[in-house]
Amino acid sequence: MAVIITDTCINCAACIDECPVEAIVDEDENPTGEEIYYVYADKCVECVGYHDVPACAEACPTEGCIQWSDVVDGMPASENRQSAGTPVVE
């Protein structure tokens, strides 16, 4: 994956319109069935080419909610990314 939204998500919608590639869906569209927002790993570009830091994590009011996940083969990866499971913005 690229970035992941954890179960601390409060469904506030602050992130969804910030994504430049429309990789985020709300709880109604979450393919896992969880009642939280979701990032499609095959769409997320970690904001490379758009922003210095993932825009979703900058917008998120919930501390540590958006975390780095594994790099997806063939997808852009931020130079400054941390390892999987680390909050993007602390």
Q: Which residues of this chain interact with ligand SF4, rule CB under 6 A? A: 2-3, 5, 9-15, 18-21, 23-24, 37, 39, 44-47, 54-56, 59-60, 62, 65-66
Toward ligand SF4, which CB reaches closer, 59 or 71? 59
Please identify, using beta-carbon distances, which residue of 10 and 84 lies nearer to ligand SF4.
10
Instruction: Judge residue 18's burial from the number of C-beta atoms within 10 Å of its C-beta, 0-12 exposed, 13-18 middle, 19 or more buried.
Output: middle
CA trace torsion 38, 47, 66, 64 (10° rounding) = -170
CB of 66 or CB of 71, closer to ligand SF4: 66
CB of 57 to ligand SF4, least distance (A): 7
Shortest approach of ligand SF4 to residue 28 CB, angstroms?
12
Give the type of residue at 9: C
As a whole number of angstroms, the distance between CA 89 and CA 16 comes to: 16
